[in-house]
Amino acid sequence: MSRSALAAVLGTALLATVLSAPNPTAAAPPPPQVVPKLPHVTKPTTVTLVTGDKVTLTPDPDGTSQVQLQPVARPNGYTPHLQMVETSQQRLVVPDDALPYLSAGVLDRGLFDINYLVANGYADDATS
């Protein structure tokens, strides 16, 4: 198995672990899953994550958005695998090298929540 394939498999497993939370009310039926919509954009909108990686949302004629993930090579030459994960509240784009910091609580998941970042003015064109 190649290094990038292994990193993708391990990253997916670790991300699933980080994002799963125990259900404190196991007896109650789970609420319906609501997948957040991508923020409505009228022009290509890029968000640069705290890691330097970029996510670009491009509007489609039908009102939806296409997502382009653009990983950035790290100083040591490693280019991370970016994963887009949807929860009931967030749409996260997480580089695999950030996963240990998320699981340790060093980084907040909100730093990788595209919906939050665009809606709150953190798109690149909104901050320049």
**The model's pTM:** 0.68
10-24, 28-42, 64-78: range with lowest mean pLDDT: 10-24
CA atoms within 13 A on the CB side of 90: 16
pLDDT number for residue 125: 85
109 near 90, Cβ under 8 Å?
yes
The yes-or-no verdict on residue 34 having pLDDT over 90 is no
98's CB contacts (< 8 A; 6+ apart) are: 51, 80, 107, 112
The yes-or-no verdict on residue 66 having pLDDT over 60 is yes
Query: What size, in residues, is the chain?
Result: 128
Torsion-angle region of 90 (φ positive above 0: left; ψ -120 to 50: alpha; else: beta): beta
The mean of the pLDDT values for the chain is 80
| Structure-model confidence comparison of residues 93 and 22, the more confident one | 93
What sign for the dihedral angle of Cα 98, 101, 106, 109? positive
